[in-house]
Amino acid sequence: MPQKAYARAGVDIDLANRLKSRLGAPLRATRRPEVLGAVGGFGGLFRASFPGLRDPVLVASIDGVGTKLKVAFMLDRHDTVGADLVNHCVNDILTLGAEPLFFLDYIGAGKLEPRVFGALIKGMSRACASAGCALLGGETAQMPGFYPPGEYDLAGCIVGIVDRKKIIDGSSVRPGDTLIGLPASGLHTNGYSLARRILFEDMGLRPRDRLPGLRLPIGLELLRTHPSYLPAVRRLVRRVPVKGMAHITGGGLVDNLPRVLPDGARAIIDTKSWRVPPLFRTLRDRGGLGDAEAYQVFNMGIGFVLIVDSRHAKRALAITGGRPIGTVERGPKGVALV
């Protein structure tokens, strides 16, 4: 059969249909009882039935993986960035105390590569299943001439639910409260434009090169999966009142903690309370960054912060495995690094 004109122009609809027809098993692994119908329609169906919640509030967020994708392209490894995307979104709505309900993805590419597409869906579906979140649908766009060969973009939208009376928004944070940091696995999904410049341009490293103190080649260190903090936070909120939570993404500790502080409350971060991982020390030192910028661009080893009353700190530490990294004091809203 001769190739269709649209396929000759770079958009292979038949290939897209074949790839989508293989999504049954990965998507079934994420299915929740509220999901109605099959994937593939013009919209996903999710029944709004929330027994046990007196005043249910939907929580939504949307994000991407950023230039971490460039590292995936360099290594031709695509089985982790899908999970990065889902877990990033799960953590964002988690800061409000929300449980994830469903997730929608967007993949844009110049040309669909079945192997790459399959790896991305596999990563997203595994992360969704782990979070109890339905992968409800998405969009796969073929745009020849728009993306460089071998590259793609990846974004996603998540919707979760929280009972209004259980929303955690930081409004009850007070001076004297304790800040608990949960460890990061690596850079997560932020700071990669600067990290790539320092490591691959300024230092002249290649993805398979190794640095002292790192277990893996630098490319694989950069591809470490962004973890979900949902299991630890689920355990915690059942036992300890949590006043505020911050996901340490773009803007680092410096810009993200103020988002959950009320006026008159200042976060004092003891930067010596944890050992900054070697990769971050390399980026800071070889990039010539001051502490103020390093802690604003990178998470510096802390991926999520919990704020609890000091009376509950010991129990919260035992439940989450986190570490105390500072306190809340009276003062202008913001963060001080000491």
Question: pLDDT tier at 52 (50, 70, 90 boundaries)?
Answer: confident
- pLDDT for 82 beyond 60: yes
**Where in the sequence is the domain holding 81, given as residue range(s)?**
5-166
Q: What is the pLDDT of residues 10-45, one digit of tens each?
A: 777 777 677 676 676 777 778 888 888 777 678 888
Residue with tokens 């074949």: 18
Q: Could you write out the DSSP letters of every residue in 134-146?
A: EEEEEEEEE-TTT
79 and 196 part of one domain: no
Residue with tokens 């982790």: 80
Residue 129 lies in a domain: yes
- Helices then strands, counting H and E runs in the chain, come out as 13, 12
- pLDDT for 226 beyond 80: yes
- Percent residues over pLDDT 90 in the chain: 82
Tell me what pLDDT residue 24 has: 67
What's the whole-number mean pLDDT along residues 234-244? 96
Last residue of a domain, one of 115, 145, 166: 166
**Residue 92 CA from chain centroid, whole number:** 7
Worst-scoring range by mean pLDDT, 2-11, 136-145, 239-248, 294-303? Answer: 2-11
Tell me what pLDDT residue 97 has: 97
Indicate the SS3 state at residue 327: strand
**309 backbone dihedrals φ, ψ, rounded to 5°:** -60, 140
Worst-scoring range by mean pLDDT, 40-44, 47-51, 331-335? Answer: 40-44
241 and 138 part of one domain: no
158 and 190 part of one domain: no
Residue 173 lies in a domain: no
- Residue 202 corresponds to which tokens in the numbers above? 């300024």
Distance CA 323, CA 302 (A): 10
- Percent residues over pLDDT 70 in the chain: 96
Q: What is the pLDDT of residues 197-209, one digit of tens each?
A: 999 999 999 999 9
- pLDDT for 217 beyond 80: yes
Residue 35 lies in a domain: yes
270 and 132 part of one domain: no
Residue 62 lies in a domain: yes
- Residue 59 corresponds to which tokens in the numbers above? 């929580």
| CB atoms closer than 10 angstroms to residue 57 | 17
Report the domain count for the chain: 2
Residue 17 lies in a domain: yes
Last residue of a domain, one of 146, 166, 186: 166
Question: pLDDT tier at 116 (50, 70, 90 boundaries)?
Answer: very high
Tell me what pLDDT residue 31 has: 84
Q: Where are the alpha helices (DSSP H) in the chain?
A: 5-8, 13-21, 24-28, 68-75, 81-94, 114-131, 192-196, 218-222, 230-237, 252-256, 278-286, 291-297, 313-320
Instruction: Give the mean pLDDT of the chain.
Output: 93
